[in-house]
Structure 1
Amino acid sequence: MTKLLNDQELLTLLKPGTDIIIPIANGEPHLLLDILEANYEQLDHVTVHQMLVLRERAYIRGEMKGHLSHKSYFLSGATRKAFHNGTIDLVPNVFNEVPRLLRDTLKLPVVMAVASLPDENGYFSLGTQADYVSEFIGKIPFVLEVNQHMPRTFGKNQIHMNEIAGYVEHDAFLTEEKCPVISQKDKKIASYITSEIQNGDTLQVGIGAVPNAVMSMLKNHRNLGIHTEMLTDGVVDLVASGALTGTKKNTYPGKIITTFAYGTQRLYDFLHNNTEVEFLSVSAVNDPYEIAKEDNIVSINATTEVDLYGQCASETIGGNYYSSTGGQADFARGVQLAKNGKGFICLYSTLKNDSMSRIKVNLEPGSVVTTSKNEVDCIVTEYGIAKLHGKSLRERAEALIAIAHPKFRDELRSEAIAAGMLPAVETVERS
C-alpha cells in the first residue's frame, strides 16, 4: 500500500551516500526539500542532482557540508552564484545523455519529484516533466510530492502508486516563466528564420525572445509539428490558429512531443488532460538519431558569442560560466542528420550598446564551445543569415562578417587577415 510519509519516515529512506535526483523546474519538490533542510543533521553525505533549479537554498550555498550538497547539470539563477563561489559542482553533459550519466555514476539513487493527483486507476503523472527522471520509473525508488496544481499529462511520465516508496502532499501554484519582451531586433532575427520555415515543417524551439517572436509569426502556416525538448507558451497560440497539427510528422503524427514544459499558467492549463501532448524521456526526445527521423525539422536556439569558424559559446558569458550545454548540441547534430533539416542559432550582433561585437575572430578567453563548427548550420543576427554548412573556413568567415554589425566588419576582416583566416589579397581586391 502506498504510504503518506511523515518527516522521519522520509529521512529513513535516505541512507548514507544517497543521491537524490530532482527533475527540472516545476518538478522540484519544495516541501520534500524543506524537510531535508530542516533535518539536515540526520543526513550523511546526501547529494542532490538537478538541472535548472528554481529556488536557492542553504545546501546550495554550502551551509550543510557533509550532510546535504548539490551537484548541478545546468546552472540557473538559483545556482549560478553558488557555482562561482565554489559551493556546488557543475557536471558537463549533453542533455540526451543525462539519464545514462546518472545511471552510470550514482550509487544509491532516489528520485524525488512533484506529481499530479492520481487518476482512478492509481496512476500519478509527472506533469510538466519527463526529462531525465522518467527513465528511472520502476527501476529505483520514487518519492512524490503530490500537488493538485500539477497538470495531468501523458506519455512516458506515468507512475503507479505501487511503484513509489511513498508520498507527501503539498498544494502550490507552479512557478511561471513570463514571456520576454520582444524587441525590434528580435523581430528582425525572427523574420529571417520564419522566411525559411515551410508548411509541414517540424519545430524545435528554445527559450527566449527570438523563439517567441518566431512562434508568433507562424500563425498563417499550416500543418506544422513540434518535437522539442522544452515546450513554451507559443505552442498554445499555434494550436489555436490552426497552424500546428503535426499531421506531416514521420514520428508521433498528430502529437506534440516534448520532454518538459515551462511557461505561464496558460500553458499549464493547456497541458492538463491534453492527450495531444506526449512527454517522453530526454534520451528519446533529444537523441540526434530520433530527431533525424523527422524530415524537414527546424531547430531554433540561441548563443552568446560566435567566432569566425562558426564555433558557438552558448554556456559562458565573457569567459564565465552562465548555464551549460543543454540540448543545443543534440539538435544541432540531429538536424544535420535529418533530410532537409535546418538549424538556426541566433544572437544579437553586438552587446553593451553596440560597443562590442558578439561575432569575433576568436572567442573570449575562458569561453566554452557548446556547438562545434562541424555541427553548426546557420547563424542569424539582425543583419541576416550566415549559412555555414558545407562552407570552407574562408567562406564561413566571409559569411559571418557579412552579418556582423557594420561598424565592426572592417575590423573583423583586418583581424581575420592578420590571423591567416582570410587571404591578404582580399585587401587588394576591396581597394
Structure 2
Amino acid sequence: MSIKTLYQSKITTAEEAVRFIEPGEVIVFPINPGEPPALLAALPTNQKLTGNSLYRMLPGYPLLETGPEIIKQVSIFLSGQDRKAFSEGFSDLLPNHFSDIPALIKIASPAPVIMAAVSPMDENGYFSLGTSVSYVGDLLKDAKSIILEVNQKMPYTYGEQNQIHISQVTALIENDFDLPTLPEPILNDKDTKIGQTIAELIQNGDTLQIGFGSMPNAVMEYLKDHRDLGIYTEMLPDKVVDLYEKGVITNANKKIYNGKTTATFALGSKRLYDFMNKNEDILMLPCQVSNDLRNIAQLDNLVSVNSTVEVDFFGQCNSEVIGGKYYSSTGGQADFAKGVRMTENGRGIICLYSTAKNDSISKIVPMLSEGSVVSTSKNDVDYIVTEFGKAELRGKTVQGRTEALIKIAHPKFREQLAFEATKRGFLPKKNFFMI
C-alpha cells in the first residue's frame, strides 16, 4: 500500500477518532501549540470513557467539563488554564523535573494514547511534532494508539523522536487552525535592569538556556552586540529570531549539537513558528535528552537563566507557590541548576523582582513562606539577580549569602532583613549596621 493510500485510509472525523480510546486508558497531549483542539472537543462524545486520565502541560485550551470519574485531568505544569481547577480540586498535578516526565507518565501507563497536532506528512510518510516534542517523543514507540490532528499551520521541524510515520498512526483528522501564541512581553523598568545585569554575565561564545517569563527573556534584548552565542534550552523564545537575524547566534562553540539551536518545545508568535518551519538549524529534542544532566554537563560556558518567586537567606528558591497556593511547577529549573554546575565555566542565574504587591512585600526573605516548596536547592544556586543587582552565592557561607542577598533587596526592607538575620544568627551582631 502506498504512503498516500495509507494516509487516506486513516482519515476520519474527530468523533470517530476518539472512539479508539478505551476505558481506563491514559491520554497524553503535547505542550500548548501541540494540543489537538478538535480532538479535545470530541473526547466527551466517546460515551464509553470511564476511569481515563488526560495529561497536559501549559494547555492552550480550557479544561474539559467532564467529571474526574470519566476523565481525570492531570496538569504537568500549572498555568492560567488549569491553576484554578487545581486549587478547587477539579484537576490534579504531577510533581516532576522536566527530564523525568516521560518516565513518570510510564508509571501511570506503559502504553498511553498519544493525541497531537502535527505538521502535514512529508514525501516519506512522516509527520513532525513541530513545536512540541517535549515528553511526547519518548512515549511514541510504546503508545497504545496515536491519534493525530494534521494542521497545515504546524511547522515541520527536525530533531530526535520528533517524527511519526503514517504506519504508526491509528487515526487522523485534518484541521487547519492558528496555533496558540504568546503576546510579546511588555518589559517594565525592573525587567530592563534585571536583563542588563544578566547580560553583563554573558560572554561571547557562551551557550544559553533561557527560562519562561518576561524576566529571563529580557536579557535577550541586551545581547545584540554579543557574538557566537549558542542556544541549548527548553522553551524556544521569540527573541531567538532577532538574534539569528543579527548574526549573534551561531552555536559554533557547542561540543554537542554543534551549529544547531536545540529546544524541546516552542511557544511564542507566528513569526517564531514560521522561522522554525523546515529550518535545519533548529533541532527539537525530547525533554529526557534536552534536560539530561549528562548532556548539559558537556556544554562548556553554559549560562542558565530562570526566574523564581522568593529566595531565602540560605539561597533556597521557591518558584512554584504564592501565598500558600500552588501557582506553577518545577519544570526544568532544577535540571539546569544542577546541570550547569557540572559544566566548565557554567553560570546558573535565578532572577526575581525584589518586591511584590506594589513594593509592600519583600521577595528576599529570612525563610521561605509557610506552604512554600524548594524548587531549586541552596546548593545549586550561583547568582541571584534583582533590579538592584546581583548576589553571587556560590562558595559563600550562610553569613556571606545573607549579606549579599540583603544588598540586592529593596532598600525599604534592608534594615528589617538585617535585623531578622541577626536575630536568627545568620549575621553576627557587629555587622548589623553595616548592611
Query: Normalized against structure 2, the TM-score is what?
Result: 0.95
Which residue in 1 is equivalent to 2:169?
164
TM superposition shift of 1:184: 1.5
Task: Give the Cα–Cα distance (whole angstroms) in 2 for the partners of residues 180 and 362 of structure 1.
Answer: 31
Q: Is the CA contact 2:23–2:48 (under 8 Å) kept in the aligned structure 1?
A: no
- Which one of 281, 287, 306 corresponds to residue 286 of structure 2? 281
Once residues 356 and 318 of structure 1 are traced to their aligned partners in structure 2, the CA distance between those partners, rounded to angstroms, is: 11
CA distance in 1, matches of 2:352, 2:254: 29
Q: What is the CA–CA distance in structure 1 between the aligned matches of 2:62 and 2:401, rounded to whole Å?
A: 42
1:290 match: 295
Do the aligned residues in 2 keep the contact of 1:29 with 1:145 (CA within 8 Å)? yes
Please say if residues 190 and 353 of structure 2, whose CA atoms lie closer than 8 Å, have aligned partners that are also in contact. Answer: yes
What residue in structure 2 maps to residue 44 of structure 1?
50
Confirm or deny: 8 A CA contact 1:319 1:368 kept in the other structure.
no
Alpha-carbon RMSD across the aligned residues, in angstroms, is 1.4
Q: Give the CA deviation at 1:8.
A: 5.5
Q: Indicate the SS of the match to 1:42.
A: coil
Q: Which residue of 2 aligns with 1:219?
A: 224
Matched, 1:130 2:137: no
- Is residue 2:352 matched to residue 1:347? yes
Q: In structure 1, what residue type is equivalent to 2:299?
A: E
Aligned residue identity for 1:151 = P
Q: Which of 133, 143, 146 does residue 142 from structure 1 map onto?
A: 146
Contact 1:284/1:290 (<8 A) preserved: yes
Mean Cα deviation higher: 312-321 or 132-141: 132-141
Aligned to 1:18: 25
Find out whether 1:179 has 2:184 as its counterpart: yes
Percent identity for Structure 1 against Structure 2: 49
- Map of 1:95 onto structure 2: 98
Partners of 1:355 and 1:160 in 2: how far apart?
Answer: 55
Larger CA deviation: 224-233 vs 351-360: 351-360
Mean CA deviation greater in 366-375 or 100-109? 100-109
Partner of 1:204, secondary structure, is strand
Question: Tell me, which stretches of 5 or more residues in structure 2 are unaligned?
Answer: 1-5
Rounded to whole Å, the distance in 2 between the matches of 1:210 and 1:8 is 42
Inter-CA distance 201–163: structure 2 relative to 1 (3 Å threshold): same
Q: Which residue does 1:155 correspond to in 2?
A: 159
C-alpha distance 308-21 of structure 1, shift in aligned 2 (>3 A): same
Structure 2 residue matching 1:66: 3-state secondary structure: coil
| Structure 1 partner of 2:424 | 419
User: 2 CA distance for matches of 1:6 and 1:182?
Assistant: 43
Shift of 1:108: 4.6
Identify the match of residue 61 of structure 2 among 55, 73, 76.
Answer: 55
Partner of 1:32: 39
Note if contact 2:18-2:39 (Cα within 8 Å) is conserved in structure 1: no
2:398 alignment partner, one of 369, 382, 393: 393
Q: State the secondary structure of the residue aligned to 1:374.
A: helix
Tell me what 1:6 maps to.
13
In the TM superposition, what whole-angstrom CA distance separates every residue of 1:406-425 from its partner, at most 9, and x where no partner exists? 11111001101111222223
For 1:254, the equivalent position in structure 2 comes to: 259
Q: 1:335 maps to which residue?
A: 340
Counterpart code for 1:52: L
Residue 401 of structure 2 is aligned to residue 382 of structure 1: no
CA offsets per residue over residues 298-349 of structure 1, 9 Å max, x none?
0111011111111111011122100110011111001111110001111111
2:154–2:179 Cα contact (<8 Å) kept: yes
Runs of at least 5 residues in structure 1 that lack an aligned partner in the other structure = none
Distance 1:302 1:190 in 2: 12
Matching of residue 316 in structure 1 with residue 307 in structure 2 = no
Q: Which amino acid aligns with 1:182?
A: L
1:139 Cα deviation (Å)?
Answer: 2.3
Equivalent of 1:111, from 97, 111, 114?
114
Specify the code of the residue in structure 2 equivalent to 1:112: M
Q: Secondary structure at the match of 1:56?
A: coil
In structure 2, relative to structure 1, the CA distance for the partners of 1:165 and 1:21 (3 Å cut) is same
Shift of 1:40: 4.6
CA distance in structure 2 between the partners assigned to 1:430 and 1:396 by the alignment: 15
Q: Displacement, 1:107?
A: 5.0
1:233-289, Cα deviation, whole Å (9 max, x unpaired): 110000000100001111111100000000000100100110100001000001122
Q: Name the aligned partner's letter for residue 372 of structure 1.
A: S
For residues 379-429 of structure 1, what are the alpha-carbon distances to aligned partners after superposition, in whole Å with 9 as ceiling and x for unaligned? 0001111111111111111110111011111100110111122222323x7
Partner SS state of residue 69, structure 1: strand
Divergent runs of 4+, >4 A: none
Where does residue 408 of structure 2 map in the other structure?
A: 403
Counterpart-to-counterpart distance in 1, 2:310 and 2:323: 9
Residues 316 and 374, structure 2, Cα contact 8 Å, conserved in 1: yes
> CA distance change for structure 1 residues 102 and 58 in 2, over 3 Å: closer, same or farther?
closer
**Which is worse superposed, 134-143 or 369-378?**
134-143
Query: Deviation of residue 160 (structure 1)?
Result: 0.8
Structure 2 Cα separation of the partners of residues 177 and 8 of structure 1: 29
